[in-house]
Amino acid sequence: MIKVVVTGSESTGKTKLAAQLAKHFDAPMSTEFVRAYAATKTGTLGYADHGPIAHGQIASEDAAIARATDVVVLDTDLISTVVYCEHYLGECPAWIADAARSRAADLYLLLEPDVPWIPDGVRDRGDRRKEMHALFESTLRDLALRYIRIGGSWDQRFERAVAAVAAMR
């Protein structure tokens, strides 16, 4: 089974591309747990929130993985939790970083911040997407994870992502 993660900074089309890939490959998909969590939370997320976020993300991923036979598509994974935790709070709980490494995917599709920003009440880094993109890329590189950068139009993103996943099969 090939585990593919669509990742990157906010408002880059991760959910859209993950859903397209899941449909194209007839594969299960896990959702980004933190979006629903943040939408129900009053106030700013804090250090104590990252444990529940990580556990929720793990449960979402595991449910999709259990249904997979060939390919599973994850709309982000714990690497995102690590990046955002370190960015916002200056550190990430060691157990989350360890779990992110041990649960790493076979392929990361790192989406470029070259599409329009769409604010939605949860996203708050529209002016810092390039900075966040660089943090995602440096984390993937530091962990020696296999990734490719995906940019361009929506159609170009989809075509390049399909080709990258197909090459792994």
Alpha carbon 33 to its chain's center: 10
Alpha helices in 1-153 (DSSP H): 14-24, 33-40, 50-67, 78-89, 94-102, 129-142
Over the stretch 61-115, which tens digit does the pLDDT of each residue have?
999 999 999 999 999 999 999 999 998 889 999 999 999 999 999 999 999 999 9
Q: Is the pTM above the cut of 0.85? A: yes
Strands 107-111 and 71-75, bridge-based pairing: unpaired
The mean predicted confidence, pLDDT, of the chain is: 93
Straight-line distance from the first to the last Cα atom of the chain, in angstroms, rounded to the nearest whole number: 9
Identify which has the larger pLDDT, 29 or 40.
29
Residue 134 has pLDDT above 90, yes or no: yes
Put the strands of the sheet holding 2-7 in their side by side order: 29-30, 71-75, 2-7, 107-111, 147-150
Residue 44 has pLDDT above 70, yes or no: yes
Query: Which pLDDT value is given to residue 108?
Result: 98
Measured CA to CA, the distance from residue 119 to residue 96 in angstroms comes to: 28
